[in-house]
Structures are given as structure tokens and as C-alpha cells.
Structure 1
Amino acid sequence: MTEIITPTRQQILTWEQTQQKIRRIAFEIYERNFEEEEVILAGIAGQGFEFARRLSEILQSISPLHTVLAEMIFDKETPHKSQITFRDSVTLTDGKVVIVADDVLNTGRTLAFALQPFLQHRLKKLQVAVIVDRNHRLFPVSADYVGYALSTTFNEHVEVVLNQQGEEGVYLK
């Protein structure tokens, strides 16, 4: 008889700890961009956009920064075959600060492709914010703002849950 092994889910960060990490990142963003009037927070669809939305709320409560929230939509499984679109109309003009937000930075592939639309503009700054950095770089992308650095094996999966009541947090499978 073959034994079926069910992957266990271990909580790495609780809801409170995850919120503390996001709040700290918002303060860091403000500290590094305090002279700006506006920043664009471009969240990758799913948990990345929810992360960007929460950063925007916190930034508006702690600073005079105006935030423009944009949701980036593309196929994360085949980003090289997918066109990146924005759900909201975002005007990318020269001299702006753009922060691309995602939940987990693993190999850097998703974020490398997510940066493409911004490279066509003369931005003032292009920064990256992630909740969890797994340190498995295959692409030359690093995060400017990291909530939690976690060394894992390639077989392990990190899941960030931001929009399910009672389940929110960071999990390792």
C-alpha cells in the first residue's frame, strides 16, 4: 500500500507579525522618499496588489505622500509570453517614483518581467518591495524593501495570505 503524504503548512508569520512587517516597510518607503509628493505603488495581481493596497493605506496615514495604486496583470507562469496590463489607468511620466510590490521574491523571474513597462520611461526611482525574500536568485533582481528574509529549500513553498479572514499570515509548505 502506497502512503499518501499530505504537505503540512507551518505558519512562519502571524497576522499581527505580517501587519508589523508591512507597516515597517511603509515607514521605510516614506523615509527614502520623503521629498516626493507622489509615489506609484504597482502591485502584481493577487497578493502583490493587496500588499500594495495596504502599503498605500499606511503611507497615507503616516505621511503627506500621495499614492497612486496600480494593479499589474500578467500570467506569472509564462510572463515572457504575457503582455503586462494595468487594471487602473496609470500615467507613467518621467521623474516619478515607482515601487513594484509582490508578496514573495523567489528566483526573481516574475519581478524581472514586471519591471519591463517601467524601463521605457525616465523614472526618478524604480524600487521593489516584497513581504518575503527567499534568496533563490536566478535573475538579477533584488528588493529594496523586505519584510522577512527566509532561507528555504527549492522544494518548499512560501505562501502569503492577505485576504482571508482568520488565515492571514505567512506559511511554509
Structure 2
Amino acid sequence: MGNKGLILSDAQVRQKIKRIAYEIYENNFQEKDIILAGIQEQGYELARLLLEELQQIASFKTTLIGVRLDKFAPTQSEISLDCDVSVVKNKCIILIDDVMNTGRTMAYSLKPFLNVKVKKIETAVLVNRSHTQFPISIQYTGYELATTIKEHVEVQLENDRKAVYLQ
């Protein structure tokens, strides 16, 4: 993909991830355990990158877990964690996805945490498009982007060259 739709370069994506990690640490430095709950695929990959950064700077234990759901049909699919729910009990949860569009995915991803007592739940995204239709507030945002609802934001995190594109 050419640079025409490039929003964030590799260096910029890495800097945003580092900044989010520092913000998470600053707001949770008194915690003993933090759970980074990455929403399947890109959200999980972002959570993994945040875990790497937090392990370098934070004194608390950080655990990475995955949240699985069908993003296109969340009401018809099971929404589950890739760990036992006892792992998140009485812990601070950071729910992470790559892009926040309407808030629907983030809202449905909260379901597994509603049946267990957690200390608090915060949210983090790399790109917030602010087309909010659900009552979801993002505590940690890498980049705020005003777009039309028809535009598409593509985040690449898996390879050595990370980037965000607008299509």
C-alpha cells in the first residue's frame, strides 16, 4: 500500500504505543496486577505490544489475555476469554482494541467481565474515530481521527513495519 493513505508511520505507531504504556503505568502504578485484555486479532496484537512496553517500565505484574467474539455478529456468537475467569477476579482490566469506531465491539467485549468481580475496567485503542453509538469512553488513545463513517482505517501491527492507513 502506498503512502497516500498513510496516517501513522512505523515510528509514529511505536511512539503512540510507548506513550499509551506510560499513561497506563502512571494511572495504575499502585496496582499489583494488571490484565491487558486484547480483543481478538489486532486488539490482541496491540495488547501484546503494550505488554512489552509495560514490562520495561512498570513494577506491577502484567498479564495478557485474549477476548474472542464475532465482531460482525456479536449477539449471535459466544464472547469468551482465552483464560479462566478467575484470572481477572479483583484485577484492573485494560480492554484493548486497535480502532474504536462506534463502540459496539468494545461494549460487547465487556460481557465476560460482567459476571465476575473486577477492580476496574479501562479502555485503550490505537485509533479513535469517535463515531460513538454506544456509551463507551476511551481512557487511552494513541491517535484521535475525524473521518466519515464510510472511510476505513486499517492498522498493521503484526510485521516489522507497523502502520495505520486510511482508505
Scaled to the shorter chain, the TM-score interval is over 0.9
Q: CA deviation at 1:95?
A: 2.4
> Equivalent of 1:45, from 40, 51, 66?
40
Structure 1 runs (4+) deviating above 3 angstroms are none
Question: What's 1:99 paired with?
Answer: 94
Distance 2:134 2:166 in 1: 23
Which AA in structure 1 matches 2:119? K
Q: CA deviation at 1:89?
A: 4.1
Which AA in structure 2 matches 1:87? D
Secondary structure in structure 2 of the residue aligned to 1:60: helix
Distance 2:13 2:88 in 1: 32
Which AA in structure 1 matches 2:150? N
> Equivalent of 2:164, from 144, 160, 170?
170
Question: What's 2:28 paired with?
Answer: 33
Distance 2:26 2:160 in 1: 31
Q: Is the 8 A contact 2:81 2:112 kept in 1?
A: no
Q: Which deviates more from structure 2 when the two are superposed, residues 105-114 or residues 88-97?
A: 88-97
Q: Which deviates more from structure 2 when the two are superposed, residues 99-108 or residues 77-86?
A: 77-86
Q: CA deviation at 1:119?
A: 1.6
Question: What's 1:4 paired with?
Answer: none
Structure-1-length-normalised TM-score: 0.90
| Identity between Structure 1 and Structure 2 (%) | 48
Structure 2 residue ranges without an equivalent (≥5): none
Structure 1 residue ranges without an equivalent (≥5): 1-7
CA deviations over 1:126-146 (Å, ceiling 9, x no partner): 010000000101111111100
Q: How many residues align?
A: 165
Secondary structure in structure 2 of the residue aligned to 1:41: strand
Q: Is the 8 A contact 1:99 1:126 kept in 2?
A: yes
Q: Within 5 Å, give how 1:74-153 maps onto structure 2.
A: 74-89=69-84, 91-153=86-148
Distance 1:120 1:19 in 2: 34
Secondary structure in structure 2 of the residue aligned to 1:91: helix
1:64 aligns with 2:59: yes
Q: CA RMSD in A?
A: 1.5
1:157 aligns with 2:143: no
Q: CA deviation at 1:155?
A: 0.8
Question: What's 2:6 paired with?
Answer: 11
Which AA in structure 1 matches 2:52? E
Q: CA deviation at 1:9?
A: 5.7
Change (3 A) 1:95 1:9: same
* Structure (1 or 2) with the larger CA radius of gyration: 1
Q: CA deviation at 1:91?
A: 2.6
CA deviations over 1:140-165 (Å, ceiling 9, x no partner): 11111000000000110011110133
Which AA in structure 1 matches 2:165? Y
Which AA in structure 1 matches 2:110? L
